[in-house]
A and B are shown apart, each in its own frame.
Chain A
Amino acid sequence: MANMAQAIRLALHYGEKHLGVTDIFGEDVGAPLGGVFTCTQGLATAWNTPLDERGIIGTAIGLALAGQKPVAEIQFCDYIFNTIDLLKLAGNSCWTSNGEFPLSMVVMTPSGAGIHGAPYHSHSFDAIASHLPGWKIVLPSTPVDAYGLMLAAIEDPNPVLFMAPKALLRIKGEELLPGEPADEKELKEMIDAPIGDRGQWKARWPEMGHAPIRIGEARTVREGGRATIVTYGRYVKLARNVADRLAAEGLGETEVIDLRTIYPYDWRAISASIAKTGRVLFLNEDTEITNFGEHLLRRTIEEHYYTLRARPRLLAGLHVPVIGLAPPLEEASIPQETDIERELRALLTEKT
């Protein structure tokens, strides 16, 4: 099965071939490296830029204004913070011009911790991204979703921020992408650049299928009637693991919702599940103060207050300046499986 980086690469290739992508660019995005996570190896329109995040986002805006279809990469979301005013501009171009200048552009960036990335390769950006009106924001948890969400992002007439969990980029999926060769080795030989001299290397692309995932549509990855976990990115798998374990203990079935889109988020799916279970845990790794999960908590309280069976909860990262390198520091900064288990156990067992 393709890993998430390969899935993104295949989606970008599909975008170049069928969806009019004109530029895939950023630091080390073109040859020879093809991206620090290899997401852009062998792509026809990939090119390297100066080491200048503001230049990258500004160029993407200009390309979109000129009718091109850019996909820009910020190498790690840890380095996107100096572009926030440009992201604001991209997000308000359509609104400010009264609909005359929408921007069809994609910015992709790896997000989150889990790769022993120290202070500047461990940031999350989902909470701040949710403060950028005018952007659609997606964050896949599997290679299949990464493929589908990237196609949808490319096709969208608005700016879309595509955040890939750093810790999942090299993780293989459990399902084949549409058109992906069944033999994993064959895929690797076709699209992974060789180690060493890549001067003559060219990717051999499989004929991929068109399978966009609608932006704004969550996925219920585990059915349940006793409690709800709403999460995204790399926490989907951890939440499912914990839900399975506590169900096996007889504490009840937990529904796990993979949000997939942070904005526009699928409130209908969230609300329907909370209405069913009356118990909800919002889970993500961004810092906890003005965390996106807090917004969902607010809506939960406003709209489900009288039918909740337990107090709703948010489990998020500590409000710590940055994430430290030593494993105990990182583990103390962002939710671990043991933390999720503690919160879910309390949620499942709280007496009404």
Chain B
Amino acid sequence: MTAVRPPPFRPALARGSARSAQPFKDREFARAFLREMVRARVLEERLIRMVRTGDGFFWIGGPGEEAFATSLGLLVDKGAGLAHDYLHLHYRSNGILLSMGEPMLPFVRQMKNVSTDPYSGGRNFVAHAAKKEWNLMPITSTIETQFLVALGTARAQWRARKRGEKSGVTVVVGGDAGTAEGDFASALVWSSRPGEELPMLMIVTNNGYGITTPAGQQHGERNIADRAKAFQIEASVCDGNQPDKVWAALSDALDYVRERGRPYLLEIAVSRLHGHSSSTGGHRVPDEVCCIDTFEKKLLKSGWIEEGDLKRFYEEANQEATEAIETVRTEKWPDGSTVLDHSFSAGDIRGGLPGRDF
């Protein structure tokens, strides 16, 4: 089958100050950044392999988005409560969490749906993380609903700011196809209500497809970010395959939201290296730009890494993945007797089921 290419990326609004890209002038930072990107890639590749070997039912993730994911993970203000950033992510966000400091083990546990899965106890697909200590709100399979839920945490932070309290910002991430849902329009309307503008960074990772349907067949807008203009929301687009560029754009956007307490829409063009999910095979897609290859070549050219360094990065990441998979190998699925646990938060209210009255 001939792949239908997505429309060409048009960086009409491309932004990202040189000042913000400053960290990439540091050799150690650049090397560490590449190492994190490799770690994110390896995790996805191993998760895909787990599905193929029967150690999981379904894979979905974000290989190809590592430049963006690593940048966001390093830039967010991580913590619990209104003083820190809230994250409303979608199911291509494993790399964000890794660069925030999460090990690979919990992802492997969720892939194998074992009871030790800290995100859902074996109840949900891989890439559906949730972590209270980091304000990571539960990732759901429903498309674009996170843009509505984000309005709530952003409103709570808006109020905290009004009270003069330290407040983080709300960051919401979704794909390009999801912006066709009305929920995206809701986020634009609600975040820009006059006098009550919300401290909310809306990020659209544009990989050019909705599952298998090219965006060019369904979307007539030049850039998704253009939609912000009607609401007087600041917006920009950037190339997600160049770490320094996406870092700079994200950094500027986050600074804007933090300082001004207003919404911002950032559209990031990313690659999708293994298709939508295991439902479409999960195989490597030819002709997509790989942000790791690009960055690796750049660092090799500058002499900041050598061939052996990259090999070592991959070996280290694979070692972490192998150890995680080994750990999980003997772990069990949750017991069926726990199926009603946590239907409600207080006590076990099991009314309505014969023999289980309260």
Cβ A55 vs Cβ B351 within 8 A: no
Interface residue? A178 (CB, 8 A) = no
Let me know if A100 is at the binding interface, CB within 8 A: yes
| Contact status of A133 and B343, CB under 8 A, knowing A52-B190, A89-B145, A303-B354 | yes
B86 at the interface (CB under 8 A from A): yes
Question: For the complex, is A199 an interface residue (Cβ under 8 Å from B)?
Answer: no
Of B123, B138, B159, chain A has the most CB atoms within 10 Å of the CB of B138
B142 touches A89 (CB 8 A): yes
- State which of B29-37, B181-189, B204-212, B233-241 sits at the interface with chain A: B181-189
Task: Tell me whether A86 and B148 are in contact (CB under 8 A).
Answer: yes
Within 8 A of B (CB), among A228-283: 263-265, 267-268
The answer to the question of A305 belonging to the interface, with a C-beta cut-off of 8 Å to chain B, is no
| B152:A96 contact, CB within 8 angstroms | no
Q: Which of A37-82 contact B (CB under 8 A)?
A: 49-50, 52, 54-55, 57-68, 70
Q: A52-B189, A54-B183, A63-B153 are in contact. Are A264 and B351 (CB under 8 A)?
A: yes
In the assembled complex, which residues on chain B have CB atoms less than 8 Å from the CB atom of A104?
A: 345
CA distance A157 to B342 in the complex (A): 12
Q: Which residue of B lies closest to A303 (CB)?
A: B354
B345 & A97 in contact (Cβ 8 Å cutoff): no
- How many residues of chain A get a CB closer than 8 Å to chain B's CBs? 50
Nearest chain B CB to A44's CB is how many angstroms away?
13
Does any Cβ of B come within 8 Å of A158's Cβ?
yes
The dominant DSSP class at the B interface is loop
Report B-chain residues with C-beta under 8 Å of the C-beta of A89.
140, 142, 145, 149
Task: Tell me the chain B residues, 131-147 only, with Cβ under 8 Å from chain A.
Answer: 132, 137-138, 140, 142, 145, 147
Give B334-358 as 1s and 0s: 1 = Cβ < 8 Å from A's Cβ atoms: 0000000111111001111010011
Q: List 29 A-B contacts (CB under 8 A).
A: A23-B155, A50-B186, A50-B190, A52-B189, A57-B148, A61-B152, A62-B88, A62-B149, A62-B151, A62-B153, A63-B155, A63-B156, A66-B153, A67-B156, A68-B152, A68-B156, A89-B149, A94-B342, A95-B342, A96-B120, A98-B119, A101-B138, A102-B346, A133-B343, A134-B343, A157-B345, A216-B351, A264-B349, A267-B352
Chain B interface residues (CB < 8 Å from chain A): 81-82, 86, 88, 117, 119-121, 123-124, 128, 130, 132, 137-138, 140, 142, 145, 147-157, 159, 182-183, 186, 189-190, 193, 341-346, 349-352, 354, 357-358
